[in-house]
Structure 1
Amino acid sequence: MLWKFFITCNKIGAFTLGGGYAMIPSMEKEFVDNHKWMDKQEFMDIMVVAQTTPGIFAIDMASHIGYKLHGIWGGIVGAIGIALPSIIAILVIAMCFHNYKDNPWVERFFMGVRPSVVALIAAPVFKMAKTANIGWNNVWIPVLACLLISNPFSNNPAYKVSPILIIILAGVAGWLYGKWKRKNN
């Protein structure tokens, strides 16, 4: 079972461009739909925990899922399985890239990959919003958090808002909204 989990993580790590958030649809398809190692709610819960854990998101996800499935060894296997393809790719690219970095075909390739990476990251955001029950009544919380994070005045230190403070305020706002909603129902 650990070997199957390692190969699955390795496949996800090898064939997903765009980093951890772009891996979410592949992870969900493999872990929830194909192998049925967990349900969607467990996957979403692990994703929330992985987002709050320091470190690389994809590795955090794989290690949390591995830990849930197989304990400490599962966490280690998941982290190594998801990271190994990237490590190998980075080594190969580092050895070869300086020869091809000014090649117009390589530049065009990267220009073409960028929009697809944005789509790969945007798709799980909408899926998470649906799973997290974000609707017209509480959409203001993530919208306000995004606006604060992308603050156009952030070049001025007086207007800079810490992402940690934004996360805490969003959590408190969500808690207050939930409390208010239960009281009024």
Structure 2
Amino acid sequence: MQLSKSQSNKNSPLIHYNFSGYLKELLKMFFVFFKIGFVTFGGGMAMLPILERELAQKRDWTTFEDLMDYYAIAQITPGIIAVNVATFLGYKRLGVFGGIITTLGVVFPSLIVISIIAAFLSSIEHIPEVQHALIGMNIAVAAMLTKILWTFIKTTIKTWKNIFGIVLALLAFVAVAIFKIDSSILILIGALSGLSLHGIQILSKKRKERGQEK
């Protein structure tokens, strides 16, 4: 099925297909998110590099900047981050049914695997090999989260000249690490700070324009 240039725009909230094409896209998104859910370990944040590779690099369904926005929104909305992000992505590309399908796709692998593990975990968790395997998995997840942190820093704080971003990031780190402030509160404060800075920049620009006119 061929799409027009306007239809293939990844930033379009809903791509228009005929019925059979729409069903094919729903199935495609389900299996893509099923794969993502199956190979993701370590929670929603650990899913970010996989989402970037599968959705932004391989399929051009979104951008890394959009993923960052989805993660920020998912942090302050009820529910699991990974599920919320999958729902946002599915809805943006294929509407309501897209959101439902991607949510089911990313949840099913965990449901299947956890059901199997729960049936046998009590009988194998004391085995040394299993304990060492779990430790190794935790180390791998820690490495993935470190990579994600570095990606966040490079993307959000564009250059070291961005003093506002650096100061805000340091204050947020201190608030979480030392004062144990809830992350959702910090995200809201960050959003308000960004809006305030944008407003100040607009006012400053208008003042300069008025000064030039005089």
TM over 0.5: yes
How far apart are the structure 1 equivalents of 2:84 and 2:171? 26
- Tell me which residue corresponds to 2:49: 25
Give, in angstroms, the shift of residue 133 of structure 1: 3.0
1:46 counterpart residue number: 70
Distance 2:143 2:171 in 1: 22
Cα deviation code 1:76-116 (max 9, x no counterpart): 01111001101111111110000011110011111111121
Deviation at 1:139, TM superposition (A): 1.6
For 2:83 and 2:135, locate their aligned partners in 1 and report how far apart those are by CA, in whole Å: 26
Moved more, 92-101 or 135-144: 135-144
TM-score, normalising length: structure 1: 0.85
Instruction: Name the structure 2 match of 1:145.
Output: 172
User: Which amino acid is 2:119 matched to?
Assistant: M
Q: Secondary structure at the match of 1:54?
A: coil
The 8 Å contact of residues 13 and 86 in structure 1, kept in 2 or not, is answered as yes
Question: 1:168 and 2:192 equivalent?
Answer: no
Residue 95 of structure 2 aligns with which residue?
Answer: 71
Taking only aligned residues, the RMSD between alpha carbons, in angstroms, comes to: 2.2
How far does residue 28 in structure 1 lie from its aligned partner after superposition? 1.1
Report the CA distance between 1:48 and its aligned residue. Answer: 2.5
Residue 89 and residue 148 in structure 1: after superposition, are their counterparts in 2 closer, same or farther (change >3 A)? same
Asked if the contact 2:91/2:98 (under 8 Å) is kept, the reply is yes
CA drift of 1:7 comes to 0.5
Pair 17,163 (structure 1): closer, same or farther in 2 beyond 3 Å: closer
* Residue of structure 2 in register with 1:87 after alignment: 111
Counterparts of 2:173 and 2:38, CA distance in 1? 30
Asked if the contact 1:62/1:79 (under 8 Å) is kept, the reply is: yes
Q: Which moved more, 1:165-174 or 1:106-115?
A: 165-174
Q: Distance in 2 between matches of 1:46 and 1:164?
A: 14
Alpha-carbon spacing, 1:168–1:64, altered in 2? closer, same or farther (3 Å): closer
Which has the higher mean CA deviation after the structures are superposed, 135-144 or 92-101? 135-144
Count of aligned pairs between the two proteins: 178
Bigger radius of gyration, 1 or 2?
Answer: 2
Asked if 1:12 corresponds to 2:16, the answer is no
**Residue type of the alignment partner of 2:192:** V
Contact 2:125–2:131 under 8 Å retained in 1: yes
Unmatched runs of 5 consecutive residues or more in structure 2: 1-24, 209-214
Contact 1:142 1:170 in 2 (8 A): no
SS at match of 1:139: helix
2:144 aligned with 1:120 = yes
